[in-house]
Amino acid sequence: MSFDFDYLLTQWPALLDGLWMTLQVSALSIVLSLLIGVLGAGIRLFRLPLLAQLVALYVELIRNTPILVQLFFIFYGLPAVGMKLSLYWSGVLCLSLWAGAYQIENLRGGLATIDKGLREAGMALNLQSRQFFRLIAIPIAFRISLPAMLNTAISLLKNSAYLQTIGLAELTFVAVDRIATDFRAIEMFAAICVIYLALVAVLALLAGRLEARLQRPFQQ
């Protein structure tokens, strides 16, 4: 079987629709996972009673179970207890919770590097704990943890392909659907490989520019 570029051109609109769905789900999940990361890292930093233990349990549960199992539990299991979500929101919830657990640990690692002197300086300026966390700790931890946070975001983007298993019409779903009807596997898989590579490259480029901007005040 020869590689058919004309076939790819005819399927390009469908692939673009799948790409748009992938971008929507991934972008929203990345934002939500960062919010989960900040909130969870703060809870663990301040060692809030019960909440810190629940966050630690959540992190261990997510990190030690396959994401596909988590996705099936959300989509097929939650309706059994009266919590039925759409395909879209099932995917967003799964990716956000999965990446959120890793972002908690990424930020917690960054927070652990903050010098004790900064805390003492914050106390000397009469900053409350929440103010120190919001104004000093989180910006520093974010800058330090940015490479790890980028890796998690890239993994989230790639893991969005799992959403085709529940029928969400994202990029991989479109490719597999076309393969089932047209039997052009080489063209479809080559196309989505190139698209995913391009998405990851763009995400890495944007993160690299952000990292350079954040490092600029610390360069001599």
Q: What string of pLDDT tens digits covers the 220 residues of the chain?
A: 677 778 888 888 999 999 999 999 999 999 999 999 999 988 888 888 899 999 999 999 999 999 999 999 999 999 988 888 999 999 999 999 999 999 999 998 888 777 777 776 777 777 777 777 777 777 888 888 888 999 999 999 999 999 999 999 999 999 999 989 888 888 899 999 999 999 999 988 888 788 777 766 655 5
Q: Quick check: helix, strand or coil at residue 96?
A: helix
105: left (phi over 0), alpha (psi -120 to 50) or beta: alpha
Q: CA of 205: how far to CAs of 23, 47, 142, 182, in Å? A: 16, 36, 17, 35
pTM for the model: 0.89
Q: Give the single-character DSSP code of 220.
A: -
Nearest alpha-carbon partner for 137 in 152, 155, 116, 158 = 116
Q: Quick check: helix, strand or coil at residue 48?
A: coil
Nearest alpha-carbon partner for 22 in 163, 180, 193 = 163
